Amino acid sequence: MKNIAITLGAAIAGMLLNGLLITYSSYFVAPPAGADLTTEAGLQAAIHLMEPKHFLMPFLAHALGTFLSAVLVSRFATERPFSRAMLLGFLFLAGGISMVRMLPSPMWFNITDLGLAYLPMAYLGYLVGRKSLRVKGLKSGASRCSFVCWCESTPPAVPS
């Protein structure tokens, strides 16, 4: 149950980051003049006015949301962290495919977004999440207890 809760929590954290970046993207890249990008109808009406810079924040939102969820699940899940990270990558990819079907966007963006923002970011998030488990100076597989016990033991006397 713990691993399921971790996976769901990681998915929610990634979705929240994705939503926040999309919501506040206009603060980073101003929308085209006169365009209302807050609604689906506004997006459809303004798509022909959008330049490549307007697609940067949606791409980053998709990539960073997936990355965050994969890092979290890889860091905290105790069973099958790779499978869980890739599961989240496929979950976010399914959301991306549904957005491509609902909203018109240039084909170059669809290919870039679907090809780079989901599964590669899930794999990268897995690598980063697993790497953060290693403590400098410890070999892989060493327990925290042995590290704490080693640190708390009395150091040998240094001859003067």
Task: Give tens-digit pLDDT for 64-83.
Answer: 999 999 999 999 998 999 99
Which of 19-23, 45-49, 66-70, 156-160 is predicted most confidently?
66-70
Q: Give the pLDDT band (50/70/90) at residue 42.
A: confident
Distance of alpha carbon 31 from alpha carbon 157, whole angstroms: 67
Q: At residue 90, what is the residue type?
A: F
Domain annotation covers residue 33 = yes
How much is the pTM? 0.77
Please check the confidence at residue 118 and state whether its pLDDT lies above 80: yes
Residue-by-residue DSSP string for 24-85: TGGGTSPPPTT--TTSHHHHHHHGGG--GGGGHHHHHHHHHHHHHHHHHHHHH-SS-HHHHH
Domain annotation covers residue 149 = no
Domain annotation covers residue 158 = no
Contact 77, 6 (CB under 8 A): yes
Contact 62, 109 (CB under 8 A): no
The number of domains in the chain is 1
Looking at per-residue confidence, does 51 or 11 come out higher?
Answer: 11
Using DSSP's 3-state secondary structure scheme, residue 1 falls into coil
The mean pLDDT of the chain is: 84
Domain annotation covers residue 12 = yes
Could you list the residue range(s) of the whole structural domain that residue 38 is in?
2-134
